[in-house]
Amino acid sequence: MNFLNKMKTRYTVKKYNPQGKVSSEQILQLKEILNLSPSSINSQPWNFVFINDNQVKKELAEVSYFNKEKILDSSHLIAFQVLKNVEDFEKQIEENLPEGSINYYRTMVKPKGEIEIKSWLAHQVYLSLGILLSACADMGIDSTPMEGIETDKYDDILKNDSYETVFAVAIGERSEDDTNHPMVTTKKRLKSETVIFEV
C-alpha cells in the first residue's frame, strides 16, 4: 500500500485494544524519527517523553478528561513538551546553532516579546506532531493526538522541570469495535478544490 492510501485509511482512534503492543523496534524507530523532525532555524525546543509504565499511564489518564480509556488501553503515550524558560532556549541555540540562525532569532523572533516567543516555540513542537502521525500511518501504528489533557498536571506527574507539556499522543492497536473506524464512521474532509489552490 502506498503512502497516499495509508493516509486515506489513517484516522484518530477512539478505542484501543489493550493487548495490542507497539514493538520495541518500532518505538526505537519512532524515537529516531521524532529526533529528525524539522523546526524553524533547527531550533528543536522540545522533549518527547515515551510513557509505557502502567502506573504513570494511570496517573496521566486521570488528568486527561475524556481520553482516559484511550490512554489506559494504548500501548504507549507520548508527551510532547517545550522548553519553559526562554533563557534556557537561548542558551541552547547559542551552543548548537550557527550564527546566521541565532541572528534570525535575535532579529525576527526575540523583539516580539516573551508571549510571542513561547507561541513560536510551541509551533515548532506541532511540526513534530505531523511527522509522528505520518510515521505511525506508514508503519501501521494507530494513533490519537490529544490536546484534551490537563497539561499542568502532566508536568507535575512527569517532573520534567525544564519543559512543559503541550499535548500528548496515544499509540497502539485499535480495537475491532472502534466506532470511529472509517468503515463505521465515514472519514470526512472538505473537498480538495475548496482548500487546495494553484497559482
What pLDDT score does 3 carry?
94
**CATH number of the domain encompassing residue 49:** 3.40.109.10
Closest of 65, 89, 15 to residue 168, by C-alpha: 65
61-70 confidence digits (pLDDT tens): 999 999 999 9
CB 80 within 8 A of CB 128: yes
Total domains in the fold of the chain: 1
* Domain extent for 147: 3-195
Q: 10 Å Cβ neighbour count for 74?
A: 30
Q: What is the mean pLDDT of residues 7-33?
A: 97
Quote the pLDDT of residue 182: 86
